[in-house]
């Protein structure tokens, strides 16, 4: 992270209020095109001249990355207000961030970041009034803050905890074990774990792993995930294989047990939605039986008490319902919380009660139920926003929950389960005035007439003159709902009189499975149409203009941005496809990309190739078109969406660009898909992001400093 210069107060004001002068991008690297690489997709010949960039271990790729980053950094270094933005972001992020406590035995655990620590620290204390002590400090696990804590789980007797860590943002994690009372690290170390933590049983825990990759650990295809049981005090090589499926290499498997250690469950999936649940008693030598057959519907285990299993599912319920099944008589299912007009997003238990969160127009509503299904009450929340938590043990009398919104930093409440009284427990205190900003929700028509909701955040008193720098963000896939959340980085935009727009487009889960299916497989173009319509609405209603409109999205959202900038380059001034899935013909050939076939389809299937090829960002770039100023963002340790997507897309876009708007690749080192990124990298990345946007929207950056 760049040093914050200590200058006299008179020198702190940024003298960059004038319209940014045009900056010329340097010569792009001469990226080699191999014209001999051509694939036959069901009779259609598709060239792939940048295939060589898929080899993340080659010297040629390494040198190309260095050359691209050099061009990018030379361009960014010429932006006169980049340092001022970096300094302002450092101020905006520099406030204490503390999570809600979670009780484990006699201790309460919580995460805390003093302000600019690279990773949040886990503290623990005896009771709510005890003195807090450091339990795990991930900042001490690496010199550069790139080792992140991914999960933390406790044994039934609360004597031990298993914690998993990730290096440089990779999905690969390592599990270690610690004795809680002494903080003594045990010799147990579990490696080659991905998409799994530790689920405790008796004398050890269950976890899922892959075999050690034979090629690149960051790009090789992951197959045959298996569930093991690790007994404390033993070597990983002696772990017991609990479950495997030798006939289906492309499935995920995870194991868990009931709190009384009587039942063990295997949750299986072939992708990002659709599950199968297997079960048996833990002391049984018999094979697993199928409780819920896959993979048409989702089944999420919520709790298991007295042989009664609570499951959240969309079977016969597009908006989901909570059901109960007796594991001793599985022939009948009982609705505990039936489907309603609003999406049932989550369910938890605590104190012998059930708490459920519904979404109403992408805002959380929370209710409390008895196990019988009788509703106790609707819990009053502070306003339109996002709430979570409400999880605890069956003997707990109180639980904690969080509430946040675009203009409300995370706030935590202690909730009395019997009386329903909420008491403010901790309010995040930021060093800037959030009351200056307001949130508006609008509904706009998409291309086919579908009404789509969008949140708009801006400074109070905004006049609609069609000139506000605006960032439009969305995701649109995998049944994921985007709800109001607080971002100190976005404050930088709002301070400049800008607008942050969040569109809840199809493909997400905001309105249940129908909304999700409306944006997947052959309906994927609806997602792009919804996003394009959001941009058109913002311009029509004079919030902004094409010259001031930027679009951004990550992962599946990176696909969204890539497709839209290619389809409608005239509509946007700036585009940020971040860690995007941009080569839709080959995504399933790397790491766990195969798990997205249920969402996207596969080019290997002719009928699916026919619609995928029409929107695949890499394959719809037009030579000579004038594309928006684009910064393609990725990272060298991204083993979720391998950086080859961004490499190939960026190279092709540079080659095709028909005007002088810059096409840059910003490739982070020792970083991954985004999770666990250290604070210094977050600030530097965001400084590049906003500098590029302001520069290429002609935005007058004015420092808030006096």
> Is 452:504 a contact under the CB 8 Å cutoff?
yes
Tokens of 545: 């203009």
| DSSP secondary structure letter of residue 673 | S
Q: The tokens 């199968």 sit on which residue? A: 276
Catalytic residue among 358, 588, 637, 673: 673
User: Residues near 132 by Cβ (< 8 Å), separated by ≥ 6?
Assistant: 110, 112, 123, 124, 125
Q: For residue 457, what are the β-bridge partners?
A: 439, 500
Tokens of 661: 């708007």
Helices (H), 541-605: 556-567, 597-600
Closest by CA to 493, choosing from 673, 238, 692, 287, is 692
Q: Where are the beta strands (DSSP E) in 446-534?
A: 451-459, 470-473, 499-503
Burial of 238 (C-beta count, 10 Å sphere; 0-12/13-18/19+) = exposed
Q: How far apart are CA 676 and CA 168, in angstroms?
A: 8
Give the β-pairing of 97-98 and 44-47. Answer: unpaired
Residue 669 bears catalytic tag: no
Q: How far apart are CA 211 and CA 223, in angstroms?
A: 8
Q: How far apart are CA 446 and CA 506, in angstroms?
A: 10
Catalytic residue among 170, 552, 555, 646: 555
| DSSP secondary structure letter of residue 212 | P
Query: SS3 of 415, please?
Result: strand
Q: Count Cβ neighbours within 10 Å for each residue of 81-100 and write b for 16 or more, e otherwise.
A: bbbbbbbbbbbbbbbebbbb
Residue 673 bears catalytic tag: yes
Q: Where are the beta strands (DSSP E) in 509-621?
A: 549-554, 574-578
**What positions carry a catalytic annotation?**
555, 673
């Amino acid at each position: 992270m760049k040093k914050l210069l200590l200058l006299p107060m008179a020198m702190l004001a940024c003298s960059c209020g004038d319209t940014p002068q045009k900056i010329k991008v340097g010569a792009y690297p001469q990226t080699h095109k191999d014209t001999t690489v051509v694939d036959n997709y069901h009779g259609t010949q598709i060239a792939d001249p940048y295939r060589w960039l898929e080899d993340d271990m080659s010297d040629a790729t390494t040198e190309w990355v260095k050359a691209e980053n050099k061009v990018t950094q030379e361009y960014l270094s010429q932006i006169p207000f980049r340092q001022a933005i970096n300094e302002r972001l450092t101020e905006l992020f520099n406030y204490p961030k503390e999570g809600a406590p979670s009780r484990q035995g006699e201790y309460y655990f919580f995460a805390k970041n003093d302000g600019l620590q690279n990773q949040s620290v886990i503290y623990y204390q005896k009771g709510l009034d005890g003195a807090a002590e450091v339990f795990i400090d991930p900042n001490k696990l690496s010199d550069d803050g790139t080792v992140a804590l991914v999960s933390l789980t406790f044994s039934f007797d609360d004597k031990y905890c298993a914690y998993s860590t990730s290096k440089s943002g990779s999905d690969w994690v390592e599990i270690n074990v610690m004795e809680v009372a002494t903080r003594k690290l045990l010799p147990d170390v579990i490696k080659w774990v991905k998409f799994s933590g530790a689920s405790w049983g008796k004398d050890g825990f269950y976890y899922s792993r892959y075999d050690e990759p034979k090629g690149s650990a960051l790009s090789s295809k992951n197959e045959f995930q298996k569930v093991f049981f690790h007994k404390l005090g033993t070597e990983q090589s002696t772990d017991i294989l609990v479950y495997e499926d030798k006939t289906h290499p492309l499935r995920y498997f995870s194991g868990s047990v009931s709190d009384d250690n009587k039942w063990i469950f295997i949750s299986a999936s072939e992708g990002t939605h659709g599950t199968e649940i297997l079960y048996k008693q833990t002391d049984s030598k018999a094979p697993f039986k199928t409780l819920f057959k896959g993979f048409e519907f989702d089944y999420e285990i919520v709790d298991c008490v007295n042989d009664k299993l609570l499951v959240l599912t969309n079977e016969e319920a597009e908006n989901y319902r909570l059901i109960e099944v007796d594991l001793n008589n599985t022939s009948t299912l009982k609705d505990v919380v039936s489907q309603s007009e609003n999406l049932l997003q989550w369910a938890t238990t605590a104190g012998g009660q059930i708490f459920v969160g519904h979404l109403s127009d992408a805002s959380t509503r929370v209710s409390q139920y008895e196990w019988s299904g009788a509703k106790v009450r609707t819990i009053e929340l502070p306003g339109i926003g996002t709430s979570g938590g409400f999880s605890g043990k069956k003997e707990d009398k109180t639980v904690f929950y969080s509430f946040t919104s675009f203009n409300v930093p995370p706030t935590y409440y202690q909730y009395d389960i019997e009386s329903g009284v909420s008491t403010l427990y901790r309010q995040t205190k930021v060093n800037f005035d959030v009351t200056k900003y307001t949130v508006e929700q609008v509904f706009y028509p998409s291309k086919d007439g579908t009404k789509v909701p969008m949140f708009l955040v801006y400074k109070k008193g905004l006049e609609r003159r069609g000139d506000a720098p605006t960032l439009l963000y969305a995701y649109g896939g995998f049944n994921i709902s985007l709800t109001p959340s607080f971002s100190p980085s976005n404050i930088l935009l709002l301070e400049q009189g800008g607008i942050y727009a969040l569109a809840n487009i199809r493909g997400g889960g905001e309105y249940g499975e129908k909304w999700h299916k409306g944006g997947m497989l052959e309906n994927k173009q609806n997602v792009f149409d919804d996003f394009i319509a959001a941009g058109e609405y913002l311009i029509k209603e004079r919030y902004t203009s094409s010259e001031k409109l930027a679009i951004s999205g990550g992962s599946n959202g990176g696909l969204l941005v890539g497709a839209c900038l290619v389809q409608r380059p005239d509509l946007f001034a700036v585009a940020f496809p971040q860690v995007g899935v941009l080569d839709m013909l080959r995504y399933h050939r790397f790491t766990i990309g195969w798990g997205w076939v249920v969402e996207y389809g596969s080019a290997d299937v002719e009928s699916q190739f026919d619609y995928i090829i029409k929107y695949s960002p890499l394959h719809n770039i037009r030579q000579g078109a004038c594309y928006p100023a684009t910064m393609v963002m990725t990272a060298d340790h991204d083993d979720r969406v391998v950086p080859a997507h961004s490499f190939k897309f960026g190279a092709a876009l540079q080659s095709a660009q028909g005007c002088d708007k810059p096409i840059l690749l910003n490739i982070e080192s020792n970083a991954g898909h985004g999770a666990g990124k250290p604070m210094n990298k977050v600030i530097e990345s965001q400084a590049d992001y906003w500098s590029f946007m302001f520069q290429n929207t002609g935005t007058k950056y004015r420092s808030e400093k006096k």
